Amino acid sequence: MQNKITDGNLHTPSQFLPNQEKIEALKARIQKLGDICNELNPYGPVAEVFKMRLREFNIMEFEDPFKITNALLRLLEDSVDELHVLEPLSDEEKLKESLR
């Protein structure tokens, strides 16, 4: 397994994680992104604590709320798509999705 060091921290690139670990990491990422989306107030200033959470996902521009929202939604969509490739929906889940 290859690791890389950035900012003094050891990171394991997701392409080297076993599938189940990658699935769990994606689920955690989706949860974090969803929480950020739910908490983001696009009409107010971005608090420093919130900026730190956005930086975790490499979002560095904080002046334009539409850019922040678009970046979050793009990351969320990409993560969900990747999760569905690794863990396809069951027939029951497909039915639930089609009814939405």
What 3-state class would DSSP assign to 34? helix
pTM value > 0.75: no
What type of residue is 25?
A
Domain ranges of the chain: 17-99
Give the model's pLDDT for residue 7: 42
pLDDT of 85 > 70? The answer is yes
C-beta neighbour count of 36 within 10 angstroms: 19
Q: What is the pLDDT of residues 47-74, one digit of tens each?
A: 898 899 999 999 999 888 888 989 999 9
φ, ψ for residue 88, nearest 5 deg: -60, 155
What 3-state class would DSSP assign to 9? strand
Q: What is the pLDDT of residues 30-40, one digit of tens each?
A: 999 999 999 88
Contacts 24+ apart (CB under 8 A), 18-25: 19/86, 22/86, 23/83, 23/86, 23/87
Give the model's pLDDT for residue 5: 40
Give the model's pLDDT for residue 79: 94
